[in-house]
Amino acid sequence: MKKLLIIGLNLVILGGAAWFGYQKFDEYFNNPWTRDGQVRANVIKVAPRVSGPIVNVAVLDNQEVKKGDLLFEIDPTTYEVALSQAEVTLEKATVSSRGKKIEYDRLKDIRARDKGAVSHKDLIRREITYQESLLQIKSAEEQLKSARLNLSYTKVYASVDGFVSNLDIRNGTQAVANQPLVALIDKHSFWVFGFFRENQLAHIAPGNEARVTLMSHPDSPIVATVDSIGWGIAPKDGTVGYNLLPNVNPVFQWIRLAQRIPVRVSLKELPEGVVLRFGLSASIMVMKDSSSDDE
């Protein structure tokens, strides 16, 4: 009796193992999956809008920052001088215009009393001079705005919540306008790219549920959703060669390998303890018979 019980227990264990194996077989062979996945995020290349030596680096490498936090500051001295000059220019233009208006009003008053005392041509000339002085005031006002903006641009702030990465600037580093100096990873923009074989695409559609497993957290799968499927990849052959003819490399393979097409997957709530970092390796399984709209 005891022997029969042991045999029955073994059969139950073997049956459970077989069922588990069948489930895994059905899961991995009937649902598209790939180990060729990678965590991605939007990377903001932070560039100053003015040039000058850096006098203050307000962050550390790999530091988390909030939108609006100061990243670094460029020496403002040159731009403070430019602002003062613009203020003086505006003041001069205003004083000059006031004098031209007085002259114009005086000629108008004289001509109103005696048309022969001032020619119409002289009156028009004075009016044009006065109108030009008003335009000079507007030009000086715009120069003043530009000078104020340039001074404000000496302080560079984070445009998003994120993480500073690969910081390589110090006090004294020469900043050049529109040349990126800091990489800022947007913490709210993480997604996963999976590269699936082209013969799997028929079983993948936007809205399908997916399961993402990071190599860094193999026991914490993440529920996800297929966002979109890439529309093209760069060809390896076909570059221009001799006489503008396509340059095609010879292939000596008996087996034709399927191309890999990128599939973008958005992540839902992260399991406790899982932290996303740009470039992490990921495995992705798409549940071909599921859709987020079915819930």
Residue 127: Cβ-neighbour burial (10 angstroms; 0-12, 13-18, 19+): middle
Using 50, 70 and 90 to split pLDDT, how confident is the model at 22? very low
Number of domains comprising the chain: 2
Report whether pLDDT(21) > 80: no
* pLDDT at residue number 120: 77
pLDDT value at residue 121:
80
pLDDT tens by residue, 95-121: 999 988 888 888 778 777 777 777 778
| Domain membership flag for residue 120 | yes
In whole angstroms, give the CA distance from residue 129 to residue 119.
16
Structure confidence at residue 20 (pLDDT): 46
Model pLDDT, residue 38: 96
Coil vs helix vs strand at 99: helix
User: Where in the sequence is the domain holding 214, given as residue range(s)?
Assistant: 31-41+190-294
Same domain as 194, residue 159 = no
Burial class (CB in 10 A: 0-12, 13-18, 19+), 166: exposed
Question: Among the listed ranges 98-102, 136-140, 142-146, which one has the minimum average pLDDT value?
Answer: 98-102
Q: Is residue 10 part of a domain?
A: no
Do residue 130 and residue 171 come from a single domain?
A: yes
Residue 246 has a pLDDT of 78
9 domain-assigned: no
CATH number of the domain at 36, please.
2.40.30.170
Q: Give me the count of residues in the chain.
A: 295
Q: What are phi and psi of 145, to 5 degrees?
A: -60, -45
What DSSP designation does 103 have?
H
Residue 46 is predicted with a pLDDT of: 96
Which pLDDT score, from 0 to 100, does residue 23 have? 47
Q: Is 5 a member of any domain?
A: no
The CATH number of the domain holding residue 60 is 2.40.50.100
Amino acid identity of residue 288, one-letter, is K
pLDDT tens profile 217-247? 999 999 999 999 999 888 777 677 777 777 7
**pLDDT band at residue 9, thresholds of 50, 70 and 90?**
low
How far is residue 6's CA from residue 65's CA, in Å, rounded to a whole number?
Answer: 62
Q: Are strands 209-214 and 281-286 parallel, antiparallel or unpaired?
A: antiparallel
Rounded to the nearest integer, the mean pLDDT of the chain is: 86
pTM of the shown model: 0.78
pLDDT bracket for residue 2 (50, 70, 90): low
Same domain, 281 and 225: yes
Q: Quick one: 254 and 153 in the same domain?
A: no
Answer whether residue 15 is part of any domain.
no
Same domain membership, residue 182 and residue 70: yes
- The verdict on 37 and 144 lying in the same domain is no
pLDDT at site 149: 97
Can you give the pLDDT at residue 18? 44
Question: Which of 187 and 25 is assigned the larger pLDDT?
Answer: 187
Q: Of 171, 186, 201, which residue is a domain's last?
A: 186
For the segment 204-220, the average pLDDT, to the nearest whole number, is 94
Does pLDDT of 123 surpass 80? no
